[in-house]
């Protein structure tokens, strides 16, 4: 079904711009160190081009993508480097050398483009062949980013990326993809897509070296010899992937049901959390359950940093609620209040929350069942137009662990959300039934 045509190593184009690397090393902040052993982020973008031939792909599309990638890496040079240990300080850093580059795999697939790029329920494993295998990790070094462009003859192509979470948070990865698209399509970057690389914007607490604290923590996490080796989840046989949509109108009805004023993000997360708990039903063996809510901290630091800062500036707040409360008639309102309370704790100071993050991560590994959220509609991923139209579908592949759901903006519905879910056949059918029935009940209120 899949044939690898070529693997390129694309280096940043020569530049004298201010974004050029003046130092061989990018140090990690404590926000980066928090994610050192988390699974990498993986996404796919599907672009439909009817009657696309191999010659048009290889002679027109691919050269433009490669050239634009080289130009983009001028602005994002750290993505062409590797995670490693600093030879003097012994701390984890991103090392950039003149011969570095990003691996770009070019492949051809005989799979059905349309079945992969629709909302229809499909095998989760089918997405993984569209991601590059050139993501290398060891105890002493790790790839930062790998890419794959896959041709579907007669139908279109896909672009997939695997990014190390210690280097890029979701917003940064989205900025990179949209920058690449803009340089390919237009040839220049607007200010909002021109990345800020300066790391001094983020400082540790005056008396605590959080970067070292987090690094030392991960060194103790088994198995030994895998410090730079994040766990890459592979879907178990029988896992299915589905996309569920909430229109702007439906989100408005959910907000009305909650009654208290909440954002669309909180309304959607509350509804999906409630549906997931009802889906899991008797499989939940604890009295309480949790939801990890990702929070962008760029505007929440004591001295806010630029919105286009590239790196990690996100942490999770943990919302905890009693299972019975979430299943009850006021479950939606209770879920929203719980999420609001968790988000409100961040107002006490990001650095203060960082002090508690270690205890959070330790307790949640053995405590109540925890659901997670990946992505955000604010990334506006459907804006990634490389010159052949907007993507027809965006998928977050790295949610291939039951209980983690993804959020994305809706392609053709301003204010709408796309929600990605991965479950076995029985549970994804149960979730779909609960999801649909819940919307009917809310609409009849």
Query: Do residues 79 and 143 both lie within one domain?
Result: yes
- How far apart (Å, rounded) are the C-alpha atoms in residues 325 and 305? 38
Q: If you ran DSSP here, which 8-state letter would residue 186 be given?
A: T
Ramachandran bin of 434, using left for φ above 0, alpha for ψ from -120 to 50, beta for the remaining angles: alpha
- How far apart (Å, rounded) are the C-alpha atoms in residues 370 and 319? 9
pLDDT at 18: 45
CATH for 147: 3.30.559.10
Query: Do residues 30 and 144 both lie within one domain?
Result: yes
Q: Please list, in sequence order, all residues whose beta carbon lies within 8 angstroms of the beta carbon of residue 142, skipping any fewer than 6 positions away.
A: 82, 83, 84, 136, 164, 228, 229, 230
Identified catalytic residue from 95, 128, 165, 169? 165
Query: Do residues 183 and 265 both lie within one domain?
Result: no
- What stretch of H or E contains 142? strand 141-143
- How far apart (Å, rounded) are the C-alpha atoms in residues 144 and 80? 7
Tell me if 231 is assigned to some domain.
no
pLDDT at 402: 62
Closest alpha carbon to 239 in 403, 112, 370, 111: 403
Query: Do residues 212 and 272 both lie within one domain?
Result: no
Closest alpha carbon to 48 in 128, 98, 118: 118
Tell me if 233 is assigned to some domain.
no
Paired strand residues for 156: 48, 152
Query: Do residues 325 and 376 both lie within one domain?
Result: yes
Paired strand residues for 242: 421
- How far apart (Å, rounded) are the C-alpha atoms in residues 409 and 212? 36
Q: Does 302 participate in catalysis according to the annotation?
A: no
pLDDT at 207: 45
pLDDT in tens, 389-414: 999 999 999 998 666 899 999 999 99
Residues in the chain with pLDDT values less than 70:
16-23, 204-208, 221-233, 347-367, 401-403, 444-445
Q: Does 385 participate in catalysis according to the annotation?
A: yes
pLDDT at 304: 86
Owner of token pair 């940064």: 172
- How far apart (Å, rounded) are the C-alpha atoms in residues 164 and 103? 14
Query: Do residues 248 and 394 both lie within one domain?
Result: yes
pLDDT at 189: 95
Tell me if 246 is assigned to some domain.
yes
Query: Do residues 176 and 262 both lie within one domain?
Result: no
Query: Do residues 61 and 129 both lie within one domain?
Result: yes
Query: Do residues 387 and 248 both lie within one domain?
Result: yes
In sequence order, what E strands does 237-279 have? 239-246
**Beta 239-246 vs 393-396: how paired, if at all?**
unpaired
Closest alpha carbon to 317 in 290, 298, 336: 290
Query: Do residues 61 and 180 both lie within one domain?
Result: yes
Tell me if 130 is assigned to some domain.
yes
Rounding to the nearest 10 degrees, give the CA dihedral for residues 276, 277, 280, 283.
Answer: 150
Helix locations, 319-421, DSSP H: 323-327, 331-345, 350-364
Tell me if 232 is assigned to some domain.
no
Query: Do residues 213 and 260 both lie within one domain?
Result: no
Tell me if 45 is assigned to some domain.
yes
- How far apart (Å, rounded) are the C-alpha atoms in residues 435 and 445? 16
Domain that holds residue 165: 2-219
Query: Do residues 179 and 287 both lie within one domain?
Result: no
Number of domains in the chain: 2
CB 183, CB 68: distance < 8 Å: yes
- How far apart (Å, rounded) are the C-alpha atoms in residues 255 and 263? 8
Q: Say how far residue 161 (Cα) sits from the centre of its chain.
A: 10
Q: Please list, in sequence order, all residues whose beta carbon lies within 8 angstroms of the beta carbon of residue 62, skipping any fewer than 6 positions away.
A: 106, 149
Percent helix, strand, coil in the chain, to 5, is 40, 25, 35
Identified catalytic residue from 203, 209, 296, 385? 385
């Amino acid at each position: 079904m899949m044939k690898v045509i070529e693997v390129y190593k694309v280096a940043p184009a020569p530049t004298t711009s201010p974004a050029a690397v003046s130092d061989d090393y990018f140090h990690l902040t404590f926000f980066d160190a928090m994610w050192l052993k988390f699974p990498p982020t993986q996404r796919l973008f599907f672009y439909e081009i009817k009657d696309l031939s191999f010659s048009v792909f290889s002679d027109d599309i691919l050269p433009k993508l490669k050239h634009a990638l080289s130009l983009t890496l001028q602005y994002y040079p750290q993505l062409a480097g590797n995670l490693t240990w600093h030879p003097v300080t012994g701390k984890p850093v991103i090392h950039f050398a003149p011969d570095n580059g990003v691996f770009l795999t070019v492949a051809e697939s005989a799979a059905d483009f349309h079945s992969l790029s629709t909302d229809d329920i499909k095998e989760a494993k089918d997405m993984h062949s569209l991601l590059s295998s050139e993501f290398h990790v060891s105890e002493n070094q790790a790839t930062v980013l790998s890419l794959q462009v896959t041709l579907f003859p007669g139908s279109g192509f896909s672009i997939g990326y695997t990014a190390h979470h210690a280097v890029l948070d979701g917003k940064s990865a989205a900025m990179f993809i949209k920058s690449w698209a803009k340089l390919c399509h237009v040839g220049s970057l607007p200010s909002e897509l021109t990345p800020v690389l300066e790391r001094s914007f983020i400082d540790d607490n005056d008396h605590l070296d959080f970067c070292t604290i987090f690094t030392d923590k991960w060194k103790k996490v088994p198995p030994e010899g895998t410090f730079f080796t994040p766990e890459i989840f592979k879907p178990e046989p029988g896992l299915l992937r589905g996309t569920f949509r909430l229109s702007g109108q439906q989100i408005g009805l959910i907000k009305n049901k909650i009654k208290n004023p909440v954002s669309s993000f909180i309304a959607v997360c509350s509804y999906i959390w409630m549906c997931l708990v009802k889906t899991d039903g008797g499989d939940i063996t604890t009295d309480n359950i949790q939801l990890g809510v990702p929070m962008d901290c760029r505007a929440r630091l004591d001295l806010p940093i630029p919105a286009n800062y590239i790196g990690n500036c996100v942490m999770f707040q943990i919302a905890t609620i009693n299972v019975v409360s979430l299943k009850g008639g006021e479950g939606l309102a209770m879920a929203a209040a719980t999420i609001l309370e968790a988000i409100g704790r961040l107002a006490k100071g990001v650095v203060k929350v960082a002090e508690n993050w270690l205890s959070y991560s330790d307790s949640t590994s053995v405590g109540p069942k925890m659901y997670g959220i990946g992505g955000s509609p604010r990334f506006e991923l459907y804006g990634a137009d490389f010159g052949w139209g907007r993507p027809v579908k965006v998928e977050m592949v790295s949610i291939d662990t039951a209980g983690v759901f993804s959020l994305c903006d809706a392609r053709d519905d301003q204010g709408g959300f796309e929600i990605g879910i991965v479950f076995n056949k029985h549970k994804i059918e149960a979730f779909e039934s609960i999801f649909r029935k819940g919307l009917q009940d809310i609409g009849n209120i």
